[in-house]
Amino acid sequence: MRDRRYRLRQAREGDIGQLVSLLGVLFALEQDFTIDPEIQGRGLRMLMGLEGSVIQCVESGGRIVGMCSAQCLVSTAEGGLSALVEDLVVAEDHRGKGLGAMLLSSVEIWAESHGALRLQLLADQTNLEALGFYNRMGWRETRMVCRRKTMGGVERGLPA
């Protein structure tokens, strides 16, 4: 049974400040990203306005204590839509209560309802807690390796 202190819902424009704070918690664990509230706020606004995307959040006592986003894209391998899951984070003082599982399950349901045939996500290879969580949730490691290239010649957030 779900804890009544927590309410799962879709994020709204007015939540962006709190969502940015949560992203700061996540990005502090991931060396590939730089915390920049203005940039992360802009990204959240773009995601909220993008058809085929969702940001789910968990609220407790008027405070956003967890979030997870997903967006659909076409997979030629699947011959249909897949969903990229990102930004799963729960505030440190609310971990261990099943909120991460609730958020991840909610975006899985959303993705399936939007026709996604597969889900994928990226996780920091040094975040063993997150990797263990994803394993317990039925996610499996692939042989694919992530690469990125920033346009404009500036690599933001990558270690030297």
The β-bridge partners of 80 are 75
Whether residue 37 is contained in a domain is answered as yes
Domain count, the chain: 1
Q: What pLDDT does residue 1 have?
A: 42
Whether residue 86 is contained in a domain is answered as yes
Whether residue 101 is contained in a domain is answered as yes
Contacts of 119 (CB under 8 A, 6+ apart): 70, 82, 83, 84, 85, 107, 108, 111, 139
Whether residue 153 is contained in a domain is answered as no
Q: Where are the beta strands (DSSP E) in the chain?
A: 7-10, 53-60, 63-75, 80-90, 116-121
Whether residue 114 is contained in a domain is answered as yes
Whether residue 79 is contained in a domain is answered as yes
Q: Average of pLDDT values for 150-155?
A: 74
Whether residue 150 is contained in a domain is answered as no
Q: What pLDDT does residue 109 have?
A: 98
User: Three-state SS for 81?
Assistant: strand
pLDDT tens per residue, range 49-103: 999 999 999 999 999 999 999 999 999 999 999 999 999 999 999 999 999 999 9
Q: What is the CATH number of the domain that holds 13?
A: 3.40.630.30
Whether residue 152 is contained in a domain is answered as no
Confidence of residue 153 (pLDDT cuts 50, 70, 90): low
pLDDT tens per residue, range 98-125: 999 999 999 999 999 999 999 999 999 9
Q: Which domain holds residue 82?
A: 7-136
Q: What pLDDT does residue 6 have?
A: 97
Q: Average of pLDDT values for 19-28?
A: 93
d(CA 2, CA 101): 11
